[in-house]
Structures are given as C-alpha cells and as structure tokens.
Structure 1
C-alpha cells in the first residue's frame, strides 16, 4: 500500500431519478409511520415522500428482485414502530420487506415467497387482519397469513389456500374486505368481463357469486364501508376496459336494499333500461347477504386502470384514473343519490394516443390518495409522477412538484462543460436535463428540461459547449442541439445557471407531426392573436405549434406536461456518414472536434469519423484500425490524443499531427483477453489512460515515447462495463471509479509515482444500481459547489448522483 493516499470511503446518494413501472398495482402510500410512497421502478422498489417540503425526490431504491416489480403494497399493521412492505415481481416471487423505526437502511428483505409459477401481478391486504392475497399470471390467487410476534422482530408467511380461477383467466385485480365477525370477502377480476366473489369459511375461500355487467376486462376493484357507522353496507367499485365504473352494494339480511336513485339517472339514457338489478344471494357462517348493482359511473373516455375509495370531509369519494389522461374524483349527490364527477384533473381533451412531445402523457396508470386525503398522485406513461393538493381557501386542486425518471435503460450521460447540469439519454427515446433547484437555503435536484423526445432508442451523448450537446441513436446519424432562450431563462431563475450563447437562439422548439427533428419556434405574448386573428378560440389551437411566453414563466421545476411539450431544444445540425447504429461519441476538450463511431462487424464500418464543430463537415478520411464495434471514445485532456476501444479487444491511441489531423500512434490488438467496453484518460503530465473489459479487469496504461506500458491490472468481480477518471483532482493522484455488469461500483486511487499500487473501495449495495452500469461521469468542479460527485447511468433505468467524501 502507498502511504498518505486518500481512500474514498464515505459515499451518500445526492439524487436518484427513476421512472415508475406502468402497472396499476405497482405503488402504495404508507398511511402509518414512514409516510413513504413505495413504487415499482424496473426491478427495484423506490421510496419517495411526496409531501416532504424539501422536495428531495426518491430517497432509496430497494433491490433484490431480478425482474420488473408489478405489485407493491404496504401491509397495515396499525403501528408506527415498524413498516411492512410487500412486493410482487415478474420473477415469480413475493418479497416481504421490514423497516423498524430508526433502522438503517430503510428496509430489509426478511422473507421471499416462491408460490406462484408466473409473474405476480396483484397484492391485496386487509386492515386489522394478518391475511393477504396475491394474484399471478399463472391463473391463481393465493391466500397467505403473516405470522409474527408483537413487535414484528420475527416474520413468517404461511400459505393458506390456492384458488385456481375457473374457467382459467388471469387476475388483474383483487380486493379483500371484512364481511362480518367470522368471514372475509374476496373479489377477483381480470381477463374476463365478470367479477368473482369468494367468501371465507373457516380458513378456506369458496366461490359465492359471479357479477356480470361489464363488457371488458376488469382492471380495478376496491371495497369500502358506505359510512363509518358499524354495520353499514359494503360498497364495491369495479372499473373496466369498457370505460365504465360500476358500484355494487353488499347488504346484510334477507331483505333487499332500496333501489338506488342512481339507476334512474336521466344521463344514462337508453343504457339505463338495460341495467340489471339482479340480486346475488351469498351467506357467511353467521348471516345472509345480497349483492346488488348500485350505480354506473360515466365520464371516462378510455380504459380505466384504478379506482380507490376514501372517506374525506364526511363524504365518501372515489378516485379513478384512465387511459384518457384524466384523474377523476366522484361522489354521490346528497339530494338525488346520483354519482357525479366533482373534480377532473389531468390533460382534458389532450391529443389522446399520441406519444410524442406534441401529444399526451399516454394515460394515467396509477391513482393514489395521500394519507391525509388532501393530495392525490398519479403515474403516467412517461414514468413521471404528478401530484395535486387541495387548496381549501380557493376550493381548487393545485398541481405540485413531483418526480420524473427514465423508464428504459439509461445508455449514456454527461455533465455540461462547467458541471452546472447533467444530461442523460436512454432507450426510452428521451434525453433529460437535471439541475439543482436552489431557493431560500434549500437545494434539490429535478428534471428541468427534456431537450429531446425521439423515435429511436438513444445510445450516447456528449456536451459540446455549455449550451450545446449531441446525441447518437439507432437511426445511424447524430443530432446537435442548442439551448433555447426559454430553457436558459428557467435554468437562470431556478438554478442560478447563467446562460452562455442562448441570446441569438429561438425561444423554444417543437416536434412537427410525424417528424423526428425539433424545429425552432418563437414565443408570443399572451394577448397576441394567432395567425387567423381568432382571439376567442386561442385555446383550440394545437398547443405544440404555439408557445405563449407565460408558458415558460414559473417559479418551480416544470411539471410533466411542460416537460413533455414545451421544453425541447431546437436541433441545429445532423451528422451523417455512418452505416449502422451509433455506438459512441466524444467531443474534444476545446469543443472543436467531435469523434463518432457506429456498430460494425468489419473494418469498413468500425471506423471513427471526425467532424469539425465550426462548419459541421466531416474530416476525411475516417480513422481505420478496429475490426468490430468501437465501444468508447475519449480525447486526452490536452486533445493531443484520441483513445478508442472496441469489441475486437484492442485499444488504439491516435495522435494529432502538425496539420491537426489524427493518425494512428499506438495500438494494442490484445489489450484485454475479451472485448474492451470503456476507457478514460487521467489528468497526468505523462499521458495515462485506463481500459475496462469483459475479462473482469481494469488496466492502467502509460505512454512513454512510442510505446504504452501496462502499469497495473485491477481485478473485478464481474465484467467491467464503465470506467471514469476524475479530472478535477490533484495532478499527482489518480482518482477513478469503475462499474460492472452486475451493478457494483468501485472507487480507487493511486499516486502518479506508483501506479502499480492501487487502493480500491467498493460502494455499499444499498446505493449501487441493481443492473449493468453503462456510464460513469465525474462532475467538473467549475460549475459545481466543490463537492466530489459521480453520476451513474444504469440498465436499472436510474440516473444517480453520489457525493463522495474523502476520509
């Protein structure tokens, strides 16, 4: 070991961005204790406190599942001393997580249940009971009992019953309720238009009734008591792909309840005549019951994904979310008994079905009440959460700052040249800009702009200047984007980031219908009429083709509807020449050159093309040396060298000659024993670089004359997929980080005088990604606050910023 070397040990997450899974069952809000909203995010469970004043976003990711998390449920134990969380996944397992008050990390896996033979899709719990139910794509519903001691220090789960749905269909929603002192009622719906009602007798559930009426698959079921009085009727809400919500009444006794006035609602028209009020007779061990149709709720224009009850301000209300981009709150009119929609939130009458920046969010998949019932949250197609909070003074629901994130693998990221903001790009076909919102002594990270929304998967990204970047995608070309004035103003106002070069640029950008290129547009004052002179119908115009200046004027991070429509960057150049999907891109440190590569299986396609950023012309001929895909490119800090590595196991150093052109200087056809996946230059006076490979090793090389010497090899536990050197530290110390295929992140350092002696430190699993690391990027210190920070892009769809403190 080298004496007096700094070993980085203290690591803490500064920011985590991750999108939610599009499954209506994949989120739940803890009403006791922690206050966390837990939601499925790829194969993790994310923890977020929406009501936190500091708006810090996702606080932790619970990893353990090996496939997408489809169902998340807080187990109601009625105490704040512990929190029990259940999660079901496409890996066929159910995990039980426990958090004891004051315990770190927030949750630990205490039990894994393997009962289902296919993806677990739903979990239902029952307050005041240890029973819970799970549904899966194997066509079964399983009933479990949680066995625990008083303080939940020991936990077990016992399988009580397996219900095979007959005729076989897949359960998409299940709900449990207490029927009486001896029985529990279970409602199951799924890939049929009927609802099955099961009643427990002793410990076994038996089919008691089948409710008909819906004309599409059942997506949501939820039980509640009509009033808080003891013995009041049970109400069941069922929501379906037929665009309707049906309410059912479970009434105790031989006599049927009075016919609901809602059935004679004139709004039902002809439909009302065909509504059946057939009574379904069921019985428990101690009493007889009837189930009758109560009301039909009309208003949604597309599939309904969730419906959940809440007793709020003395009224019974139902929250529903739909593919039509709306979230509705329903309640019964006190005089007529007719159920009406009292609040409608979201994008009413937006361009339904469109998935581009000019279109809609693609539907609301999840809707959840807050514990105090005065806020609601919803998840959309883009993986972003939205939140509305009720303002009692103005009697209005106001949208609040929520969280956003990628929903597919994050393929690349880069800091702006001065480190003031972070850009990430992903297979979800978006590029996102994250920056630090600074206000009144507080700071928190948010997505502040969505510069690119594309039609192809995006693979790589790099900054050119403080206000310009380029990305490469599966479409075989690269696109260059310039910061618009609108975004520059928001970054200045919210993040204290001064604009550099955006004064001559347009205000904003949009994507034309059927287009892939962001076109520049100008913003107009709010009182300026549109071209047709029709001031009265301004709101009817396509919101993507018109930008009002007030649209870009807000004092908080933008909401999802702004990000998806109004905060694009105009595209200024396209770079052609490659014949296959773009695999790597790098910009010189003086911003004058761009090097790019594409996927290739021959020396003719695995070339490196250079472009001059002044006129965006290609500098020919392309650089030929590799025979397979070039996986990474990087210019040395002084721009004298260009380093390339590839799947052909070789690394190549290209040197700039007197004419400014790059030519092959050194190559090593056997740099690693398997493909090389990444490389990075150190900030040393003597040229030094690192390579990372599939052979589970990181190698440090130093150029001396016309040769490169292997200084040391750092062994890893699995394939190394990313490596990055911190260029902002001391010149005589190499500080680096590497990431592996299984999500491990290791930091290391070595003195320039003794590169053969490297100290390494592996980061804790609780802050490491759960899947492959695709890129690492150290934050430049110029625009930062002096902290040593590392940004991480991973296949688990997360973007993370970690603070590293030297000890």
Structure 2
C-alpha cells in the first residue's frame, strides 16, 4: 500500500483466540480461522504466523466454518476459491471468499439478518461444486438452513437464500452437524443438540424443507459438539453413517445410522452372543423419502475427566489408487480436563479405545474449548481457555509420535500498552488478560529458512489484576520495566539470566555483548506466587534445590504451585514453555497512589519514572516521580483534577507533558542536580473540548501533539518559560483520536511523521515539518501538516487503538525504513514496516 512517498507493510500480528467453543475452524486450504474480538484472524500453521485479520463484524466473533470443510474437500479438489463463514454475538453472519493461489480475500458478503441474538454454531455441506447448504444456530432459539450458490468466478457475489427457519423453543441449540444420507443424493439430515440434553435429527430434501425425524437420548447434560462422518462403505455399498456426540456429562457417544431392513427378513442384525460395549442397541427408525434408517448406539466412550467440548471425525483419506475417499475410523475429542484424545476401534474386538492422549498442560492452563484435525490427519490443534493454541504433529513413521509445534500467540483481552526495548530488540505489551508478553523477531535460521519471523519469546508477568500501563527503563544496565495494573502498586521487573541468553539466540548477538550483565545477574528466573501477584526469584546457585518434583498427593492442592524451570531457549518457544518458565522476578514495589494505576513513562536517560492513577479529584490525580534505582518517590506534581491519561518526557528530558480527562494539558520543567529533582509547572492549558487521550513530543525539539475525543489533533510548541503556542490543528478525523506517536525524518528541517490511532481502529500517518529547527532560529517558523498515508482496513485494528510506538528497524539497510507498533482493544499487537522517502 502506498500513498505519495510512504509505503506500509504488515510485519507481524499477535492475537489470542476468543474463549468460545466453536470459534476455530481448520480449512482444506491449510489455513486456520478464529475469532479475535470482533475480527476474524487467519493463521498458517506451517509458518506459525497470523497472516491477516478480516474486519467486518461489530460484535465478538463466536464461530467460524470453512466451505468446503476438510470433510468435503475431496468433492472440489481443484477449486480456485474457498469460502469462510463467521458468526458474531449480535446475530450477524458474514461470508468471505479466499482465492487459494494468491491468498487474496474478497470483501465480506452479509448473510440476511435473521438471528436476533448471538450466533452459537455454524455447519455446512457441499451439495455440488456450485451449491452448498449451511445451518446456523443462535441463542434466540432459531436454527436456520441456508442455500449458497457458489459463483464460478471468485470476484462475483454468492447468492444466499434462507430455506428453512426452525424454532427450537426456550432451550437453544449450541451444536450442529449437516450431511447427506448414504446412497441418497436428494436428501440431507441435520443433527442438533443443546441445553435439553437430547440430539434432534431433522431430515429434508435439498429444497430445504426440514421435518423432525427422531430424537436420540442418552446424554445427561448439555450437548456441546456433534459431527457426522461421511458414508461408510460396507459390501461395496455406502449404506451407513456415523454421528459422534460430546456432552458436559464427560462422555462421548457414537451413533450408527444404517439402512433399515424390514422385520420380515431378519429380526436382529447381530447375534445375541455379541455382548459387550459394541453390541447393537436398537434405537429409533426414521423415514427419509422412500428409505428408512435405523439408529443405534455404536459405542459409549468414557475417558475424559471434565466437560467434553469438542468431537470431530478425521477428514476422509484417499484410497491407494486415489479414486475413492474413505472415512478413517478415528475421532478427536477435546475437553476441559486439559487433554485431547484420539479414539479408534481395536482391530480384533472392534471396541473403541483411546489410542493417543496429548495435553496434560501445566497448572497455568485451564482446559480446551475445541480440537481440530488437519486435512491429512497428521496434525491436531486445540484452543484453550487462556486464548492459546496448542498444535501437535505426528512425527512418527512406523508408530505414532505426536510432538508439540509452534503456533501464533497473543493476548486474549484488550492490549492496553506497548513499549519497545531501549535498543529495539523486542516489543513488550501488557493487557487486561493480566499478562505482559515480549514479542521479538527471531533472526536465526528457523524451520522456514532464513526469513525473519516474529514470535512471543517470553511472558515476564502473569498477574492477578488487569494490567493498564508499562514503561521500559531506558539507559544502561539490565533490561527492566515497570507495570501498573488495577491496583495501587507499580511493580518493577528485571530480566533474569535465562531471558538474556534467550535474547542472544533470538537476535544472533555475540554472547560477549552481554558478558558484563551475565556475570552480575544471579537470578535465573522466577516463580509465581499462590495469589498470582508477586513473582519470586530463582537464584542461579539455588536452581537445583528449588526445582523439585511434586508428589501425587500435592498435585491437586491449591496451596502448592509447581516450581518454574527457567531454560535458555534456542528456538521460539511453545505455549507450555511460555506460560510458566519465562517469568521475570519482581524486584520492587512502588507504593503511593490512591487508586488503580493508569499511565507510566520513563525519561530517555533512565533516571526518572513518572506515574499516574485513576482519579476523580485533584489530590488523587497528582503525578508521582520516582528515582530509578533507589525507587524513592522524589516528586508529587499537582495540576489536574481528573485522571492523567498519558505522560511523556521531551526528547532532552527537560519537560514532562501530561494530558488528562479534564481536557487540560500540563507541561512541567524537570531538572536533576545530584540526588535532588526540581520540578515546576510551566503551563496548564485547556486544550480540547473533550477528554485528551494521547500526546507525543517531537523527536527533535519542544513541539508536541495532543489528540482528543473531540476528533482533533493539535500541534503545540513551548514558546517561553511560561506559555505554549498552538501551531496548527489537523483537519477533523472520522473518530476519536486515542493514540499518537511522533518520529523524526530530517533533523535539519524538523520534519517527521506523526502516527495517529483512532477509536474505530484506523491508523493514519501525517507528515509534519516546520516550527523551530534544532540549533537554528529561536523564533517559531511556519508549520506544515500533510496526510502521508491512510492504512488499509485489512491492516488496521477493528476497535480502539490504545497505543502507537515507533522504532528504527535494525534489519533495514537504510534509515528510510522504520517500524511502527500498535496495540488495541481487539486483542492485537501489530508491527508495520514504514518506508519513508521524504
């Protein structure tokens, strides 16, 4: 994307998965779709990178479904376009088109709005290469069946028609599965389950008229997942079908639907001697057109220790000659007991058993919401309560050997603040999901060659409160940061030895560069406390004593927490390592504020830290200054009457700028002589008509920008010791301005780029120049502002941009390439390359 002399390219997207059962779908294009707040995110399991996010929904995305699904992919092996359905909490359903070769997305097509409440489940089936049916369930008690006419050209619109709308009563359905009947090309059946503990089977023809066929009883709690197999071949006839169901009663049931043979021919399909779990239990018979089908309970699978949220048949596989596809007798289940299981019938007895178990995650994981097969059946994916993905791949040849694989990761709640490390090696983010995370480009030769890919390399803080703000401590010394959360205490963290060595591997630095630090750092890592607040250090010389193995009687005790095992990572970590073994120790607590912390900033020399908290009065709204190192409070700055929303030191650290909910800006002069810090209010000015959310200093001088809910950005300059002058006001924006960041291009012209983030998620870059040239005239000159580029919506956030932060790109061979990081309420952390030729 380019406009004028500025080009923008997406480098990285980090986002967690919405914690909802039907949120994830693995398509035959080998792309995985999931909801990240109100966006649909797409990630590639081979590169472990999120490729894009699709904007369009106005509420949280609950469910996604690919057309064709992996189950139907063999029907359209050479299709040039696949489609993706997504449903959200406001009842909306969108249909997206994907051109397979170019991986290009077409604009979303809005399905007619029928549902009045949240869409909870989607399922579909291909009838032919040009016709598909899909069903949607909603918490409004309505289940709809839709027909999709698929165009021959990907750029053409689909035609979507509502065929049937079923009212299922006060207990809504939360699980659906749709399929064609064995040997019957004219009819389909729809299975639905939900809060009444029964499986409802509806049958109908392709015109969409659905009639109740039968009910399957047996589960004693909510039905959470249903999945039909493709028709099973027997004696060269595809005369039976299997349905698998999962429930909160912790069991899985396999139901068989076979062509019914009248009682005149035979009384019992099996001999009475066939006793046991696989014995034939007669169920209801239902009629579809001229054919009758008998339902029986094939097997009851018991093995999970908690609610089973997901079951799925392995996708069909081709026969040896590749002409015919058959259904593997293999089922994947996922449960809140932190396990995924693969179930298969024994070859000799036919009894279904659990052959593979993966998961059993560390104590920080809280179970799985869903499990999914790859098209070839050699990989399985789970998404968990912590918004995380867990991927295993079968690496065995003669026997199965499932090993964890890398996946994208990110926050599963709004990301409140970001900060670059002082040299730009990594990006630190904090979130209302109560974690802080470090993302970095891994420059070593990884599994995809020499290409640099971004990964989460550490999770330094896992907290018991939502984290609102963060500041990297600049200046020399070890890597340190301060975070502020929904508590009155700011917490200081210092990088342990394990992280410093991991960072060396990530950025391919010579270890000697950190030699002086390595000699003095005696802390290897950190352990979590029982309440999830303070993180206790693990010392290098005591690491062997502290690493102990829990006894069986301790495992389920709430009072005991297993010790972390800090390790030096030589390749990007997987979720199990991040969640527990990459914590940083907490070195200090800063007490003083009267309410929850809201904003933090550090000066460029790494000498002073400024902080503010949520406030409704002038006494609480004061800004505290802390001395880095001793962490003593050295100043309490009073000016505002409501929450100070952002703080920033000028480029020479001589001024501190504060903006507030009271619509005022304040500038304080800061001088430090020895151990004494002198500060004075230079100016206080009512700058905007609404809350001021953001501010940013010029990287060269004493000009600064403010952005407000009144949809304006104003540029100011400090004129003398007691006043500021407004240089210009940018044209009104389309929404509230919530984030600003200013970087320099040409010092001799005092020119730079101002990044502006808005409440609607959009980002714009403005070219600024003029004012007072550094080292030049003392008078303020004319000031120019010009729109440089407006980001494509596919690059932007889909809700409020909370923070923007610039850094020079160390990978670029020229100084024209910079990197811009952003974070927002859509759970996303984004990094862009910005090429500026100005």
| Contact map agreement 2:530 2:561 (CA 8 A) in 1 | no
Matched, 1:50 2:42: no
Mean Cα deviation higher: 781-790 or 423-432: 781-790
Secondary structure at 1:442 match in 2: coil
1:438 and 1:584 mapped to 2: Cα distance? 32
Equivalent position to 2:461, from 444, 452, 455: 452
2:631 equivalent in structure 1: 616
Q: Structure 1's 293 and 110: CA in aligned 2 closer, same or farther, altered over 3 A?
A: same
Q: Structure 1's 669 and 751: CA in aligned 2 closer, same or farther, altered over 3 A?
A: closer
Secondary structure at 2:111 match in 1: strand
1:773 and 1:547 mapped to 2: Cα distance? 34
2:678 and 2:460 mapped to 1: Cα distance? 32
1:405 and 1:388 mapped to 2: Cα distance? 19
Matched, 1:427 2:429: no
1:467 equivalent in structure 2: 479
1:480 and 1:262 mapped to 2: Cα distance? 68
1:722 equivalent in structure 2: 739
Q: Structure 1's 28 and 782: CA in aligned 2 closer, same or farther, altered over 3 A?
A: closer
Secondary structure at 1:579 match in 2: coil
| Contact map agreement 2:260 2:285 (CA 8 A) in 1 | no
2:104 and 2:256 mapped to 1: Cα distance? 44
When the two chains are superposed, the root-mean-square deviation of aligned CA atoms in Å is 2.7
Secondary structure at 1:743 match in 2: coil
Q: CA deviation at 1:515?
A: 4.2
Q: Structure 1's 470 and 68: CA in aligned 2 closer, same or farther, altered over 3 A?
A: same
Provide structure 1 residue ranges, at least 5 long, that are not aligned to the other structure. Answer: 1-5, 266-271, 351-358
Secondary structure at 2:8 match in 1: strand
Give a deviation string over 1:685-707, Cα, whole Å, max 9, x none: x4111111111111111112222
1:261 and 1:801 mapped to 2: Cα distance? 66
Equivalent position to 2:33, from 14, 35, 38: 38
1:643 and 1:7 mapped to 2: Cα distance? 32
Matched, 1:26 2:23: yes
Secondary structure at 2:501 match in 1: helix
TM-score (norm. length: structure 1)? 0.91
1:109-508 to 2 correspondence within 5 Å?
A: 109-129=108-128, 130-151=132-153, 153-166=156-169, 168-179=170-181, 180-201=184-205, 203-225=208-230, 227-228=232-233, 230-254=237-261, 257-258=269-270, 264-265=276-277, 277-310=281-314, 311=316, 315-347=328-360, 359-393=363-397, 395-440=400-445, 441-465=450-474, 467-496=479-508, 499=514, 501=517, 503-508=520-525
| Contact map agreement 2:43 2:50 (CA 8 A) in 1 | yes
Matched, 1:517 2:544: no
Mean Cα deviation higher: 276-285 or 511-520: 276-285
Q: Structure 1's 552 and 396: CA in aligned 2 closer, same or farther, altered over 3 A?
A: same
Q: CA deviation at 1:521?
A: 1.4
Secondary structure at 2:656 match in 1: strand
Q: CA deviation at 1:532?
A: 8.6
2:620 equivalent in structure 1: 605
Q: CA deviation at 1:91?
A: 1.8
2:802 equivalent in structure 1: 774
Secondary structure at 1:765 match in 2: coil
1:297 and 1:410 mapped to 2: Cα distance? 41
Q: CA deviation at 1:260?
A: 11
Q: CA deviation at 1:131?
A: 1.2
Secondary structure at 2:238 match in 1: coil
1:533 and 1:175 mapped to 2: Cα distance? 44
| Contact map agreement 1:306 1:321 (CA 8 A) in 2 | yes
Give a deviation string over 1:200-225, Cα, whole Å, max 9, x none: 14531111111111011000000014
2:370 and 2:572 mapped to 1: Cα distance? 22
1:774 and 1:704 mapped to 2: Cα distance? 30
1:305 and 1:385 mapped to 2: Cα distance? 15
1:71 equivalent in structure 2: 63
Give a deviation string over 1:773-802, Cα, whole Å, max 9, x none: 100000245698754000001011100001
Matched, 1:681 2:697: yes
Matched, 1:709 2:709: no
1:758 equivalent in structure 2: 785
1:133 and 1:467 mapped to 2: Cα distance? 52
Q: Structure 1's 535 and 105: CA in aligned 2 closer, same or farther, altered over 3 A?
A: closer
Q: Structure 1's 16 and 692: CA in aligned 2 closer, same or farther, altered over 3 A?
A: same
| Contact map agreement 2:464 2:531 (CA 8 A) in 1 | no
| Contact map agreement 1:227 1:316 (CA 8 A) in 2 | no
2:72 equivalent in structure 1: none
Q: CA deviation at 1:508?
A: 0.9
Give a deviation string over 1:160-215, Cα, whole Å, max 9, x none: 1111114x311110001111223211100011211111111453111111111101
Q: CA deviation at 1:371?
A: 1.4
TM-score (norm. length: structure 2)? 0.88
Q: Structure 1's 395 and 523: CA in aligned 2 closer, same or farther, altered over 3 A?
A: farther
Give a deviation string over 1:480-521, Cα, whole Å, max 9, x none: 000011121211123325547354231110112224101011
Mean Cα deviation higher: 104-113 or 197-206: 104-113
Secondary structure at 1:493 match in 2: helix
1:792 equivalent in structure 2: 822
| Contact map agreement 2:505 2:571 (CA 8 A) in 1 | no
Secondary structure at 2:517 match in 1: coil
1:643 equivalent in structure 2: 657
Q: Structure 1's 259 and 212: CA in aligned 2 closer, same or farther, altered over 3 A?
A: farther
1:598 and 1:522 mapped to 2: Cα distance? 33
Q: CA deviation at 1:558?
A: 1.1
1:455 and 1:263 mapped to 2: Cα distance? 53
Q: CA deviation at 1:674?
A: 1.5
Q: CA deviation at 1:148?
A: 3.6
Mean Cα deviation higher: 634-643 or 78-87: 78-87
Secondary structure at 1:108 match in 2: coil
| Contact map agreement 1:20 1:384 (CA 8 A) in 2 | yes
Secondary structure at 1:113 match in 2: coil
Q: CA deviation at 1:603?
A: 0.8
1:361 and 1:648 mapped to 2: Cα distance? 42
2:776 equivalent in structure 1: none
Q: Structure 1's 510 and 525: CA in aligned 2 closer, same or farther, altered over 3 A?
A: closer
Secondary structure at 2:30 match in 1: coil
1:259 and 1:677 mapped to 2: Cα distance? 76
| Contact map agreement 2:707 2:739 (CA 8 A) in 1 | yes
1:532 and 1:118 mapped to 2: Cα distance? 50
Matched, 1:99 2:98: yes
Q: CA deviation at 1:766?
A: 1.3
Q: CA deviation at 1:750?
A: 2.0
Q: Structure 1's 263 and 556: CA in aligned 2 closer, same or farther, altered over 3 A?
A: farther
| Contact map agreement 1:262 1:294 (CA 8 A) in 2 | no
1:172 and 1:668 mapped to 2: Cα distance? 56
Q: CA deviation at 1:71?
A: 1.2
2:330 and 2:356 mapped to 1: Cα distance? 11
| Contact map agreement 1:728 1:780 (CA 8 A) in 2 | no
| Contact map agreement 2:672 2:678 (CA 8 A) in 1 | no
Q: CA deviation at 1:110?
A: 2.6
Q: CA deviation at 1:378?
A: 1.0
Secondary structure at 1:16 match in 2: strand
Mean Cα deviation higher: 281-290 or 509-518: 509-518
2:653 and 2:159 mapped to 1: Cα distance? 61
| Contact map agreement 1:263 1:296 (CA 8 A) in 2 | no
| Contact map agreement 1:459 1:582 (CA 8 A) in 2 | yes
Secondary structure at 1:492 match in 2: helix
